[in-house]
Structure 1
Amino acid sequence: MTAAPPPTASELVRFSAVAIPLAAAGLPLGVYLPAIYARDYGLSLTTIGLVFLLGRLWDAVSDPLIGTLSDRTRTIHGRRKPWIAGGGAVFALASIFLFFPPFGVTPLSLGLVLFFFYLGWTAVQIPFQAWGGEVSGDYHQRTRIATYQTVVTASALLLTLILPTIADQIRPGDGRLQLSLMGGLVLASIVPALLSTLTALREPPLPALPVARPRVRETVAAVVGEPLLLRVLASDFAVTLAQHIRAALIVFFVSFYMGRPEWAGGLFLFQFVFGIFAGPIWLRIGRRFGKHRTAVAGELVQVAINLSLLFVTPQTFGLLLALTLAQGLAQGAGNLMLRAIVADVADKHRLESGDDRTGLFYSVFSLAGKGATAAAVGIALPLVSWLGFDPKASNSAEALDGLLLVFAIGPAVAHSLSAALIARFPLDEAAHSEIRRRLDRDSPDLAFAE
C-alpha cells in the first residue's frame, strides 16, 4: 500500500500537546512540592521523602505493566488512545488534590494522592511515547517527532518556572499561592491538551496479537535479552544522571560558591530559555550524521561545557552565564536521540521475535530516567556533604572547592559514559531501513507514514 505523507508541523504540535500538563506537573513535583508540603502543611521532610520514595517504587511496577498492557490493547479507537484518555482523567483528578490540598494533610492522604497521580501520569506518558515512536517507520521522521515533543516540553517547563517567580512578586514566600498557580496551569491545560493529542493523528494499524499472554518472566527476558535496548537504557541513565546532578547542586553552587543567591533560580530559568531552541538544532545535526553519532556529539559537547566550569570563579560570573547559555543549547541532545532510537530497537525486536513490545520498551526507558533522577540526588548531596559542604553553616574554601568539583566533574563523567555506551551503535539508518523493508514486506497492511 502507498505510505501516508509525514505529519505536518501543525499536526505534530497538536499531537505533542499532552506533554504540557505532564511537564507542568513534573517540575513542581520534584522541586517545589516537598518544601511547600513541609513548610506550609506541617509534614516532616523524612515523611515526605518516604512517601515520594514509595511513589517511585510504585512506578517500577506500573511503568512496565502499563507499557505491556497498552501493547496488547485492542479497541476500535486503537491501543494507545484509550489509555491516554483514561489516564488523563485519573491524572487530572489526582492533580486537584495534589496542588490544592485541603487543610490537615496526612502522610496517608498524600500517599493515596500520589498513588493515583503516578498511575494517571504513567497511563498517559508511556502510551503517548510509544505512539510517538509508531507514527512513522522512517528513521529521521522519528527524530523529528521526538523533537516536537521535546520543544513542547521545554516550553511548558519554562512557563512553569516563571510561575513561582510571579507568586513571589505578589506574596513572597507564600507556598500555597505558588502551588495554586502551578496547579492551575496543569488543570487549565489538561483537557485541551488531551483533546488535541487524541485528535491530531490516527494511530497506525494494529500489528498481529500473539496468541499466548505474556508472563512476567517472558517480559523481563524480552528486555534483558535485547542488548541494543540495554545500551540505550544505560546511555540514557547516564545522561539523565548528569543532568540531575547539575540540577541538584545548581542552587548551592550559585548561592554559595558564586555568592549570587539572587541568581539561583534565574540561572536555571536562563538555561531553559535557550533550551527551547536546542531541539531544532539537534534535529538538523541528526539528519546529517544519524541518531547515535549525534547523541555522542551532544554528550561530548556537554563534557566540554561541564569541565569548563572548573575555570569559573566568583569573579567570572559572565563565564558562568556563557556556559549556562551553551548548556541550554546542548541540553537534551542525548535524551532526544535516544528516545527516537527506542522505536528503531522495537522494530528490530518485532522482526526477530514477531512480538510488538514498543510500549514495554518505552516504559523501561522511562523507568531508567526516573531511576537516574533519584540516583542523582542520592549521589550528589552526600558527596558534597562528605567533602565538607554544609548549606546551614559557614563553608571553608576547601568545602566550596569540593562543591565545584562535584558540580563540574560529576556531570562530565556521566556524559562521557553516556557517549561511550552509544558510540558505534550498529542500528544506523541503513540497518534500520533494511529492517523496515522486511517488516513492510511481511506485513504490507502495517505500512507507516514515511
Structure 2
Amino acid sequence: MAEAASRERSDALKNFTLFSYSLPAIPISALGLPLVVHLPPFYAKEMGLGLALVGFLFMIARFWDVFTDPVLGILSDKFETRWGRRRHWIVLSVPILMLSAYMIFLPSGEVNGVYLMFWMFILYVGWTLLTISHLSWGAELTPAYYERSRVHGAREIALILGMVFVLTLPVFAHLIFPEESEPHAVTLMGLFIIIMLPLTVAVAVFGVKERKTPPPQHVPWKQAVKLLATSKPLQIILAVDLISGISGGIVASLFIFLASDALKLGSASDAMLLVYFISGVTFIPLIMILSRKFGKHKSVAFSALFSGATLPLILLIPEGNVPMAMACWIALGVNMGAGPFLFRSIMADVADHDAVQSGQQRTGLFYSLLTMTNKVGHAVAIGIAYAALDLIGFQAGGENSPEVIAGLKAVYVWPAFIIALACAYLIWRFPIDETKQLENRRILEARALDVAEAAIGSRTAATVDPRPTGAPAD
C-alpha cells in the first residue's frame, strides 16, 4: 500500500491541468441534457411532430451512434499529429457541433421529420468526435488508479456544472417570457452551447499536453466482437452502463411531463432539475471518498441501491407539493453523479487489464463502446417511453385522466427501480480492484521499460565501428 501511495503522489496531476482538461465537458453536458429532457417535448409539442414520431426519430438518431462510435473511436486511436492523438479531433468537432446545434435549437423554415433527422445525424457525428476523444484523452493523462478517479471526477463536476448552467436558462426564460417560455428556453440553450464550445475547447487543447502513450493498434470489428465475448470485466461494465442508460433515459425524457402534468409543479419544474444537478455536484467528493474506502465498483453498487430506495418516494408526492418534491430530487441527486464518472474511471482500468492480456492499447475502442452502450440505452429508453405514453393515451399539454397519470408515474418509477437493483447485483463482484490494477500497472510499466531498453540496444548495435578499416579485431 505504501508503494501504491508513493506511485500516486508521483503521478499526481496539477489542479490547473484537471481544470483545463475538464472544461469541454461543460458544453458536452449542456448539449446532452436538452437532447434528452427538453428537445423531445419541444419537437413533439411546440413543433407539432407528435409523441410517437419524435420518440422514433430520437431513437433512430441515437442508434446512428452504434455505427459512428466504434468507427470514430478507431480513428481517434489510429491517427496522430504533432498535437497528439486526441486534440485535433476535438478541434474538428467544434464547427460541426456549432452548425448542427444552431439548426436544431433555433429551427427555421419548414420543420418536419426529415429536417430533424438530418441535423440530428450531423450533430451526433460531432458529439461522438468530441466525447470519445475527450474521454480517451482523460484516460491517457495518467496511469494511476486513483488519479484516474480525480480526472473523471473533475470531468463529472464540469459535466454537472454544464447541466446547472443550461438549466438556469429555462428559469430566466420563464421570468422574461411567462406565456411562451419553452421555445425561448430552447433558443437560449442553443446559444449557450454555440458560445461555450470554442472557448472551452481552446483552453483545453492549448492548456493541456497529451501524455506520450504507445500507439494503439487498429482492432478489426470482428476482433472487437470477440473481445466482448471473452472479457468478463468489459461485459460487466458495458451491461451496467447500458441498463443505466435505459433508466436514465426514461426518467430524463419523461421528467417534464411528470413535473408539469402529474405533479403539477408549474414553474418550479425547472428549479427542480437545477436542485437535482446541484445535489449531484455537491455529493461527488463524498462518492470519491467512498470509492477510496470501498473501491469503485462497490461504490457504484451502494449508489444504485440508494437510488432504488429513493425512486418509489415519487409516488407519495401530492400534486403541487414543491417542498416534498424538492426533497425527493435532492436525494435522487446523490446518486446522479456517481455512476458516470466511476464507470469511466473503471473503464480505464479495464483498458489496462486488456492491454496486459492482449499486448495492445485499445483505449479509444473501449471508450467508444462505453459511449455507445449509454447512447443505445437512452435510445431504447426514449423510444419505449414515448411509445408507452402514446399507448396509454397521454396528451402532452392536454387533459389526462387519473388513470393515465398513474400510468405515467408507473412508467417513470418502476423500470428505473428494477434497473437500480440489477446494476448493484451485476457490479458487486467486479474483478478489477485497486490491487489488481496495481498489478496490471506494474506489468505494463515493465513492458514499456523492456521496449525502451531494446530500442536503446538496437541503436547501440547499429552504431558504426569507429576503428579504421582493416584494423585487427580484439
Structure-1-length-normalised TM-score: 0.89
Which stretches in structure 2 are left out of the alignment for 5+ residues?
A: 1-6, 453-474
Tell me whether 1:194 sits opposite 2:201 in the alignment.
yes
Amino acid at match of 2:172: I
1:281 aligned residue (255, 279, 286):
286
Deviation at 1:413, TM superposition (A): 0.9
Provide the aligned C-alpha RMSD in A. 2.9
CA offsets 1:265-311 (integer angstroms, 9 cap, x no match):
33222212222212212111111211001111111111111133344
- Cα distance in structure 2, aligned partners of 1:113 and 1:393: 29
Change (3 A) 1:446 1:203: farther
From 16, 26, 31, the counterpart of 2:32: 26
Which of these residues, 177, 182, 185, is aligned with residue 189 of structure 2? Answer: 182
Query: What is aligned with 1:205?
Result: 212
Q: Map 1:119-130; keep pairs closer than 5 Å.
A: 119-130=125-136
Deviates more, 1:31-40 or 1:150-159: 31-40
**In the alignment, which residue of structure 2 is the partner of 1:8?**
14
- Report whether the alignment pairs 1:173 with 2:180: yes
Question: Aligned-pair distance for 1:414?
Answer: 0.7
Q: How does 1:27-176 map to 2 (within 5 A)?
A: 27-37=33-43, 48-105=54-111, 107-171=113-177, 172-173=179-180
**Does the alignment pair 1:376 with 2:352?**
no
Native 8 Å contact 2:65 2:124 kept in 1: yes
Equivalent residue in structure 1 for 2:369, among 364, 367, 382:
364
In structure 1, how many angstroms separate the alpha carbons of the residues matched to 2:379 and 2:121?
18
Residues matched between the structures, number: 445
Which is worse superposed, 430-439 or 243-252?
A: 243-252
1:440 aligns with 2:445: yes
The amino acid of 2:211's aligned partner reads P
Query: Do the aligned partners of 2:247 and 2:419 also contact (CA within 8 Å) in 1?
Result: yes
CA distance in 1, matches of 2:450, 2:141: 15
Aligned AA for 1:264? S
The residue aligned with 2:356 is 351
Post-superposition offset of 1:386: 6.0
Letter in 1 for 2:357: E
Structure possessing the higher radius of gyration over alpha carbons: 2
Please report how far the alpha carbon of residue 198 of structure 1 lies from its aligned counterpart in structure 2 after TM superposition. Answer: 1.1
Corresponding residue for 2:306? 301
Cα distance between partner residues in 1 of 2:37 and 2:225: 32
Distance in 2 (alpha carbons) for counterparts of 1:342 and 1:446: 25
User: Shift in Å at residue 39 of structure 1?
Assistant: 5.8
Measured in 2, the distance between the counterparts of 1:136 and 1:281 equals 22
SS at match of 2:431: coil
> Which residue of 200, 216, 226 maps to 2:231?
226
Please give the secondary structure, in 2, of the residue aligned with 1:193. helix
Contact 1:167–1:174 (8 Å) recurs in 2: yes
Change (3 A) 1:169 1:299: same
Cα-to-partner distance string for 1:111-148 (whole Å, 9 max, x where unaligned): 43323221111111101111111211111111111111
Contact conserved, 1:440 with 1:446, CA < 8 A, in 2? no
| Aligned residue type for 2:63 | L
The answer to whether 1:243 aligns with 2:248 is yes
- 1:331 aligns with 336
1:277 match: secondary structure: helix
Moved more, 64-73 or 379-388: 379-388
Checking the alignment, whether the CA contact within 8 Å between 2:305 and 2:420 is kept in structure 1 is yes
For the residues of structure 2 that align with 1:289 and 1:428, how far apart are their CA atoms? 10
Residue 3 of structure 2 corresponds to which residue in structure 1? none
**C-alpha contact 1:249 1:380 (8 A) present in aligned 2:** yes
Q: Please give the secondary structure, in 2, of the residue aligned with 1:443.
A: helix
- DSSP-derived class of the 1:276 partner: helix
CA spacing shift, 1:397–1:173, aligned 2, 3 Å: closer
Q: Classify the secondary structure of the residue corresponding to 1:137.
A: coil
Amino acid at match of 1:202: K
**SS at structure 1 position matched to 2:367:** helix
Superposed CA offset, 1:367-408 (max 9, x none): 111111122233445556666766677555555444444433
1:334: Cα distance to partner? 2.0
Contact 2:250 2:381 in 1 (8 A): yes
Give the aligned residue type for 1:333.
A
Change (3 A) 1:160 1:115: same
User: For the structure 1 residues 215 and 124, does the alpha-carbon distance in structure 2 shift closer, same or farther, using more than 3 Å as the test?
Assistant: same
Amino acid aligned to 2:213:
L
After TM superposition, give the deviation of residue 183 of structure 1 in Å.
1.7
Secondary structure of the equivalent of 1:261? coil
Residues 1:265 and 1:224: Cα distance change in structure 2 (over 3 Å): same
Deviations 1:204-247 (A, max 9, x none): 2131454xx53221232223332211110111222232223222
Shift in CA distance, 56/381, structure 1 to aligned 2, threshold 3 Å: closer
Deviations 1:292-332 (A, max 9, x none): 01111111111111133344444865443222111112212
- One-letter amino acid matched to 2:23: A
Q: Which amino acid aligns with 1:30?
A: V
Task: Answer with 173-182 or 385-394: which moved more.
Answer: 385-394
CA contact (8 A) 2:63 2:375 kept: no
The percent of aligned pairs where both chains have the same amino acid is 30
Q: Is the 8 A contact 2:51 2:387 kept in 1?
A: no
Equivalent in the alignment of 2:297: 292
Distance 1:391 1:32, change over 3 A: closer
User: Deviation digits for residues 328-380 of structure 1, max 9, x if unmatched?
Assistant: 12212122211110010000111111111111111111111111112223344
For 1:444 and 1:90, the matched residues in 2 are separated by 41
Assess, with a 3 A threshold, how the Cα gap between structure 1 residues 292 and 35 changes in structure 2: closer, same or farther.
Answer: closer
Residues 17 and 315 from structure 1, CA distance in 2 versus in 1: closer, same or farther, beyond 3 angstroms?
A: closer
Asked whether the equivalents of residues 296 and 433 of structure 2 are also in contact (C-alpha less than 8 Å), the reply is yes
